[in-house]
Structure 1
Amino acid sequence: MATKILASSSHGFENECKEIHESWGRSNQLIRALAGRTQLECRRIRETYKEMYGEDLITLLQKSSHRNQPGVSPKTCAALSLWMLDPHERDAIVAREALLQDDTNYTALVEIFVGRKSSHVALIKQAYHSKYKTHLDQDIINIEPPHPYQKILVALSTSHKAHQADVSQHTAKCDARRLYETGEGSPGAIDEGLVLEIFTKRSIPHLKLTFSCYKHIYGHDYTKSISNGNSGEFKDALKMVVNCICNPPNYYAKVLFANFKGMAADRGAVTRVMVSRSEMEMDEIQRVFKAKFGVELREAICESIPSGDFRDFLLALANKTVIVL
Structure 2
Amino acid sequence: MATNILTISNPNFENECKKIHDSFEDFNQLIPFLTSRTQHERQQIRETYKAIYGEDFRSLLQKYESGFSPMTYSALSMLILDPHERDAIVSMEALEQDVTNFKVLVEIFVGRKSSHILLIKQAYQKLFRRQLDQDIINLEPPHPYQKILVALSTSHKSHHVDVSQHIAKCDARRLYETGEGGRGAIEEAVVLEILSKRSIPQLKLTISSYKHIYGHAYSKSLKRGNYGEFEKALKMMVKCISDPPNHYAKILYTSIKGATSQKATLVQVLVSRAEVDMDEIQRLFKKKYGKELIDVICESIPCGDYKDFLVSLAARTTSTVLLQK
**Same fold, TM-score > 0.5, yes or no:** yes
Offset from partner CA, 1:57-89 (integer Å, 9 cap, x none): 12443x468x5x2x3222112111111111111
Structure 1 residue 318: Cα displacement: 1.4
Partner residue, 1:112:
108
Long gaps (5+) in structure 2:
1-6
**Distance of 2:51 and 2:260 partners within structure 1:** 42
**Distance of 1:229 and 1:274 partners within structure 2:** 36
Contact 1:110 1:241 in 2 (8 A): yes
Long gaps (5+) in structure 1:
1-7
Partner residue, 2:181:
185
Structure 1 residue 267: Cα displacement: 4.0
**Distance of 2:185 and 2:284 partners within structure 1:** 32
Give, as a single letter, the amino acid of the residue that structure 2 aligns with 1:193: A
Structure 1 residue 261: Cα displacement: 2.2
Partner residue, 2:310:
314
Higher relative CO (CA 8 A, sep ≥ 6), structure 1 or 2? 1
Partner residue, 2:19:
19
Structure 1 residue 266: Cα displacement: 3.8
Partner residue, 2:3:
none
Structure 1 residue 265: Cα displacement: 6.1
5 Å matches for 1:138-217? 138-217=134-213
Deviates more, 1:237-246 or 1:10-19: 10-19
Partner residue, 1:79:
75
Partner residue, 2:30:
30
Partner residue, 2:223:
227
**Number of residue-to-residue matches in the alignment:** 314
Could you say if the C-alpha distance between residues 17 and 179 of structure 1 is closer, same or farther in structure 2, counting changes exceeding 3 Å?
same
**Distance of 1:244 and 1:118 partners within structure 2:** 17
**Identical pairs, percent:** 63
Q: Does 1:136 align with 2:94?
A: no
5 Å matches for 1:3-14? 10-12=9-11, 13-14=13-14
Structure 1 residue 127: Cα displacement: 1.0
TM-score (norm 1): 0.92
Supply the RMSD in Å over aligned alpha carbons.
1.8
**Distance of 2:303 and 2:105 partners within structure 1:** 30
**Distance of 2:248 and 2:163 partners within structure 1:** 25
Runs of 4+ in 1 over 3 A off after TM superposition: 263-267
Structure number with the higher helix fraction is 2
**Distance of 1:113 and 1:162 partners within structure 2:** 14
Partner residue, 2:299:
303
Structure 1 residue 28: Cα displacement: 2.3
Q: Does 1:257 align with 2:256?
A: no
Could you say if the C-alpha distance between residues 60 and 210 of structure 1 is closer, same or farther in structure 2, counting changes exceeding 3 Å?
same
TM-score (norm 2): 0.92
Could you say if the C-alpha distance between residues 256 and 100 of structure 1 is closer, same or farther in structure 2, counting changes exceeding 3 Å?
same
